[in-house]
Amino acid sequence: MEEVSMFTNKTDQSSQDLITGSEVLLRCLLMEGTECVFGYPGGNVLYIYDAMVNNPDFKHILTRHEQGAIHAADGYARSTGKTGVCIATSGPGATNLVTGIATAYMDSVPLVIITGNVPTTVIGTDAFQEADIISITMPITKHSYSVRDVHDLPRIIHEAFYIASTGRKGPVLIDIPKDVSNHKMYYDPSNKLNLQLQGYSATPNPDPTEIDKLIQAIAESEKPVIIAGGGVVYSNASDELLKFVNKTKIPVTTTLLGLGGFPSAHDLWLGMLGHHGTYTANMAIQNADLIISIGSRFDDRVTMKVDGFAPNAKWIAHIDIDPAEIGKIIKTDIACVGDIKAVLGYANTKAKPSKSNHWISNIQENKSMYPLRYKDSETELKPQYVLEMINSTTRGNAIITTDVGQHQMWVAQFYKFNHSRSLVTSGGSGTMGFGFPSAIGAQVGNPNRLVISINGDGGMQMCAQEMAICAINNIPVKIVVINNQVLGMVRQQQEIIYESRYSQIDLAGSPDFVKLAEAYGVKGLRASTKAEAHHIWQEALETPGPVLVEFVVPREENVYPMVLGGTTLDQLIMGDFE
């Protein structure tokens, strides 16, 4: 006799289906609103994939590598605010997800990761394709489950989605042994699950006393600055932040992950701060008397030399949903723990203008005197020019995904984001290979938006095989390759820090990207001059379906401003405009 699950009505099994764990998994994913799963099959998830055959409502995209699957799920999650889902088999399939799990964990992205495992009868025997993926990923997951009883599966799936998408969001892993995925249970989807997880507090309630202290500090401040981070985006608090700024008249600088969380056209936006931040933003931090970090964790690329960060600040205020971040890097005077949307919602009921008129005038003068600049050329195609062109043709309304390197920083500097969730990029982990597959997920989640994936020639080669699924599924991502035939950011650091001793950075043997795209069934275009760039970019935008556009740029171009490690934010290297 079959054991009856907690999800069933023990008095009446006539309305319940006797189905396998694999079928339960698919039904629960659909109940959670999962629109698409990205994955790659293997022996220990074959029961799950077999269940897909008889479930026409379940959408799955077969990537060409497990890393492509998890990056696609990540891009879907970041761009939609929903929980991304991916599936991989045991052993190497699961371990190929590790980089993507770490990427999502560092940037607080909600994912549910399904891995198969060997049957329970052989776990721990070093069976074929066995790996202890729970232990391997424990430091980089918000929570993990090893399912040993099929009757636990519905509860675990719903708990996983709840944990991944609440509080400080993050990846949750569910490891399902092969035999468990084929065990049967009576399943009744009409029964409701009351999620009460012992020891898990999803979202702490804001303390009005701390918010009142912040309001008082603002009233006394003459040189306030807001650092808006990724938390503003993840909590959907962009409108509340804009209202707060308009009420308090406080200038705003954004972190890399915070770009789009505050409109770039606003008079009080200073640009990005930190390692490759603007002169105006970095100098404002160093001269401010009040720093308000909103959803930013004071990452080392933001603070640079910690003991020289914001030396004139009388108060450091930190608004964050995760209490563990408060005071972790920078000593905090005012701690507002809670969901940013709720904290700012309360703050806006009491917010009044700061004494910042003179401060704002000084900042506007800096913006005028020290804008982002580069030496343009009539004979070469500069990468900054390409980004300005893409910005002007899309009016800042596209979803942009990036890989990691110089092009990522040029996007942050020269593309002006108008909307939240318009930038998808790997921040904390800095994962090369992320940019292109994340664009696939973003396009799947936003079928009516223009999605542009901007990559370097190095990162593009790490997941180039995913062009196949763009062609097969007609996913209309516009793929940009900024090709300088070198590992650009590494080359720049070797030039500046290592006295031009260049080591292992030459990518001149890379493939012809246009021919590579065509081999996968994707249209390929190339430009090396301004005239060609405008022509082929317009052609790419007018072409339905996926297009790869290669822009050939000089290999010697550097990203400026730049703050070296071990120095303070005001010690900027301005490059040609020193």
DSSP 505-566: -B-TT---HHHHHHHTT-EEEEESSHHHHHHHHHHHHHSSS-EEEEEE--TT---SSEE-TT
Q: What value does the CA radius of gyration of the chain take, rounded to a whole number of Å?
A: 25
Q: Is residue 271 part of a domain?
A: yes
Mean pLDDT along residues 99-123: 98
Confidence label for 440 from pLDDT (cuts 50, 70 and 90): very high
Indicate the Cα dihedral angle 535, 538, 542, 548, nearest 10°. Answer: 80
Q: Are residues 171 and 40 in the same domain?
A: yes
Position 136 scores a pLDDT of: 98
- Residue 134 in this model has a pLDDT that exceeds 70: yes
- Residue 519 in this model has a pLDDT that exceeds 60: yes
Q: Is residue 572 part of a domain?
A: no
Looking at the structure of the chain, the number of domains it has is: 3
Mean pLDDT along residues 519-539: 98
Q: Are residues 414 and 525 in the same domain?
A: yes
Distance between CA atoms of 197 and 339, rounded to whole angstroms? Answer: 19
Q: Are residues 278 and 341 in the same domain?
A: yes
C-alpha distance from residue 469 to each of 13, 78, 441, 466, 522 (Å):
42, 20, 11, 6, 10
Position 193 scores a pLDDT of: 66
Mean pLDDT along residues 143-163: 96
Give the pairing of strands 451-456 and 315-320: unpaired
pLDDT in tens, 446-467: 999 999 999 999 999 999 999 9
And the tokens for 338?
């809670």
Confidence label for 13 from pLDDT (cuts 50, 70 and 90): low
* Positions marked catalytic: 66, 128-129, 178, 489
CATH number at 99 reads 3.40.50.970
Position 124 scores a pLDDT of: 95
Q: Report CA 174 to chain centroid distance, whole Å.
A: 21
> Closest by alpha carbon to 507, among 522, 490, 519?
490
- Residue 1 in this model has a pLDDT that exceeds 60: no
Instruction: Quote helix, strand, coil % in the chain, to nearest 5.
Output: 40, 15, 45
Q: Which residue has the higher pLDDT, 191 or 269?
A: 269
Q: Is residue 527 part of a domain?
A: yes
C-alpha distance from residue 65 to each of 85, 464, 475, 487, 493 (Å):
15, 10, 17, 23, 31
Q: Are residues 98 and 212 in the same domain?
A: no
Q: Are residues 259 and 398 in the same domain?
A: no
And the tokens for 491?
């080359």
Cβ-based neighbours of 252, under 8 Å, separated by 6 or more:
225, 226, 228, 241, 245, 262, 266, 268, 269, 270
Q: Is residue 397 part of a domain?
A: yes
Q: Are residues 443 and 387 in the same domain?
A: yes
- Residue 7 in this model has a pLDDT that exceeds 50: no
- Biggest CA–CA distance in the chain, Å, is 80
CATH number at 236 reads 3.40.50.1220
- Residue 511 in this model has a pLDDT that exceeds 80: yes
- Please state, for a pLDDT cut of 90, what percent of the chain lies above it: 93
Position 517 scores a pLDDT of: 98
Q: Is residue 2 part of a domain?
A: no
> What pTM was computed for the model?
0.95
And the tokens for 512?
């012809």
Position 401 scores a pLDDT of: 98
Q: Give the 3-state secondary structure of residue 150.
A: helix
Burial of 567 (0-12, 13-18, 19+ CB in 10 A): middle
Position 488 scores a pLDDT of: 96
Q: Is residue 5 part of a domain?
A: no
Position 3 scores a pLDDT of: 36
Say if CB 466 and CB 64 are below 8 A apart.
yes
Position 419 scores a pLDDT of: 94
Confidence label for 189 from pLDDT (cuts 50, 70 and 90): confident
Mean pLDDT along residues 157-170: 96
pLDDT in tens, 317-326: 999 999 999 9
Cα angle 312-318-324, degrees, rounded to a multiple of 5: 125
Cβ-based neighbours of 295, under 8 Å, separated by 6 or more:
228, 229, 230, 231, 232, 233, 234, 235, 237, 258, 261, 319, 320, 321, 340
Q: Are residues 418 and 552 in the same domain?
A: yes
Cβ-based neighbours of 283, under 8 Å, separated by 6 or more:
366, 569, 570
Q: Are residues 61 and 87 in the same domain?
A: yes
Position 191 scores a pLDDT of: 65
> 339, 370, 401: which is the final residue of a domain?
370
Lowest-pLDDT choice from 21-25, 50-54, 196-200: 196-200
Residue with tokens 């290297």: 573
Q: Are residues 531 and 416 in the same domain?
A: yes
Mean pLDDT along residues 534-547: 98
Q: Is residue 570 part of a domain?
A: no
**Residue numbers of the domain that contains 253:** 208-370
Average per-residue pLDDT for the chain? 95
Cβ-based neighbours of 574, under 8 Å, separated by 6 or more:
279, 370, 560, 561
Confidence label for 203 from pLDDT (cuts 50, 70 and 90): confident
Q: Are residues 181 and 259 in the same domain?
A: no
Position 2 scores a pLDDT of: 35
Distance between CA atoms of 163 and 171, rounded to whole angstroms? Answer: 9
C-alpha distance from residue 496 to each of 345, 430, 434, 556 (Å):
45, 20, 27, 12
- Please state, for a pLDDT cut of 70, what percent of the chain lies above it: 97
- Residue 195 in this model has a pLDDT that exceeds 90: no
Q: Are residues 362 and 387 in the same domain?
A: no
Distance between CA atoms of 262 and 171, rounded to whole angstroms? Answer: 26
Q: Is residue 575 part of a domain?
A: no
- Residue 309 in this model has a pLDDT that exceeds 80: yes
Q: Which residue has the higher pLDDT, 202 or 385?
A: 385
Give the pairing of strands 184-187 and 17-20: antiparallel
Q: Are residues 496 and 544 in the same domain?
A: yes
pLDDT in tens, 356-377: 999 999 999 999 999 999 999 9
Position 10 scores a pLDDT of: 40
Say if CB 243 and CB 307 are below 8 A apart.
no
